């Protein structure tokens, strides 16, 4: 076994080079995120032993130029965090720790560019993960100027050579609309995030809205789109607005986890039984939240924690110099059937 040079801290990229694999393969071998052959796993283990590499190298990182801290940039906007947001964060944090890094949650607003520049320029963090990504996100220019590596959970309008993990919103929209159309629903509502998210250019809200409109046109169903405050009261108001605009609507697709209980309670107050008279489907609602609604919520979406882990792996691979080209991943959604969707009621006369 080679003697370890205490002045040089081996990296995951060093292990990858010695083992003759990519840094992402080393990451997968360490985390079990993807199947790795026994022979490849053995080569990686031998390389780690030879280099003296350990994924839990936070203390040893003090000898290097790295802090082994990464910042997760989540502009909270004064709102409460939904369970789906926590799943992204926990997935990212867990994987960072598995790779010997720790996650710093940075909730400063996206417009606070001077504060971000100070964070990026102080050498306190090795890289940044961006959430709530806008189609034109000014944070990117700040991070580029500071030379700080970053990856995105989400993506800009033209991500080019940027690293990102994002939901395939067109695919999710088709799954949701096709499911409801297949049940005979011809008049749908789409309850999005609040109007400020659209005005700010939030990529997820805009991409999903546009995807739902395309899917509705392809399935020849009518759809009414609304923005909604992320609260129970917002959901109640959204259901009232939907039925005021289209009294014959029999189903709603919601991209607003915190508004869903309000949508459901408002429907019940109007004498609409879910799903006998009215169906509700939620996009990007984690299983834990879906199982807490009554009836339980039919959902479409990928697993947020898996996306958080993927983006973290991209970032750390970038920090450790193990990649040159962009790593870009779109995650398909899965339709999980529960109790909140059913065949269209007789009053759908379209």
What gap in Å lies between CA 240 and CA 232, rounded to an integer?
13
Asked if residues 188 and 252 have their Cβ atoms less than 8 Å apart, the reply is yes
Domain boundaries defined on the chain: 1-65, 67-167+303-330, 169-302
Taking each helix axis from N to C end, the angle separating 83-98 and 304-319, rounded to the nearest 10 degrees, works out to 40
Residue 7's pLDDT is what? 54
Q: Report the mean per-residue pLDDT for the chain.
A: 90
* pLDDT tens per residue across span 67-89: 889 999 999 766 667 788 889 99
Q: Is the pLDDT of residue 254 over 90?
A: yes
Residue whose structure tokens are 């080679």: 2
Q: Do domains 1-65 and 67-167+303-330 have the same CATH topology?
A: no
Using DSSP's 3-state secondary structure scheme, residue 114 falls into: helix
Count of helix runs (H) and strand runs (E) in the chain: 13, 12
Q: Does domain 1-65 have CATH number 1.10.260.40?
A: yes
Asked if residues 80 and 232 have their Cβ atoms less than 8 Å apart, the reply is no
- Structural class in CATH, domain 169-302: alpha beta
Long-range CB contacts (within 8 A, 24+) of 120-126: 120/146, 120/148, 121/146, 123/67, 124/67, 124/69, 125/67, 125/69, 125/70, 125/71, 126/66, 126/67, 126/68, 126/69, 126/70, 126/101, 126/319
Asked if residues 149 and 127 have their Cβ atoms less than 8 Å apart, the reply is yes
* pLDDT tens per residue across span 338-348: 999 999 986 54
Q: Which CATH number does the domain 67-167+303-330 belong to among 3.30.70.420, 3.40.50.261, 3.40.50.2300, 3.40.50.720?
A: 3.40.50.2300
pTM: 0.80
Residue 31 — very low, low, confident or very high, per pLDDT cuts 50/70/90? low
């Amino acid at each position: 076994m080679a003697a370890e040079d205490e002045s040089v801290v081996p990296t995951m990229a060093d292990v990858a080079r010695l083992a003759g694999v990519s840094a992402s393969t080393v990451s997968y071998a360490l985390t079990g995120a993807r199947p790795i052959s026994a022979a490849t796993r053995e080569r990686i283990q031998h390389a780690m032993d030879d280099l003296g590499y350990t994924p839990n190298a936070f203390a040893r990182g003090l000898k290097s130029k790295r802090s082994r801290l990464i910042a997760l940039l989540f502009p909270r906007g004064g709102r409460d965090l939904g369970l789906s947001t926590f799943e992204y964060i926990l997935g990212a944090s867990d994987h960072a720790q598995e790779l010997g890094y720790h996650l710093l949650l940075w909730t400063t607003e996206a417009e606070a560019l001077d504060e971000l520049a100070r964070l990026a320029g102080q050498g306190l963090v090795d890289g940044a993960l961006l959430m709530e990504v806008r189609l034109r996100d000014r944070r990117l220019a700040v991070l580029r100027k500071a030379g700080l590596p970053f990856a995105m959970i989400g993506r800009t309008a033209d991500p080019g050579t940027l690293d990102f993990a994002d939901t395939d919103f067109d695919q999710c929209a088709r799954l949701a609309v096709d499911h409801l159309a297949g049940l005979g629903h011809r008049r749908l509502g789409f309850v999005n995030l609040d109007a400020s998210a659209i005005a700010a250019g939030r990529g997820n809200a805009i991409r999903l809205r546009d995807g739902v409109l395309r899917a509705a046109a392809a399935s020849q169903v009518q759809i009414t789109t609304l923005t909604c405050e992320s609260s129970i009261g917002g959901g109640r108001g959204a259901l009232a607005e939907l039925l005021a605009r289209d009294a014959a609507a029999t189903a709603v697709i919601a991209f607003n986890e915190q508004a869903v209980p309000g949508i459901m309670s408002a429907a019940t107050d109007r004498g609409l039984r879910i799903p006998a008279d009215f169906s509700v489907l939620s996009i990007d609602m984690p299983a834990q939240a879906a199982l807490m609604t009554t009836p339980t919520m039919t959902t479409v979406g990928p697993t947020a924690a898996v996306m958080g882990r993927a983006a973290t792996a991209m970032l750390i691979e970038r920090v450790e110099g193990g990649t040159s080209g962009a790593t870009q991943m779109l995650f398909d959604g899965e339709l999980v059937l529960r109790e909140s969707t059913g065949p269209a009621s007789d009053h759908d006369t379209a």
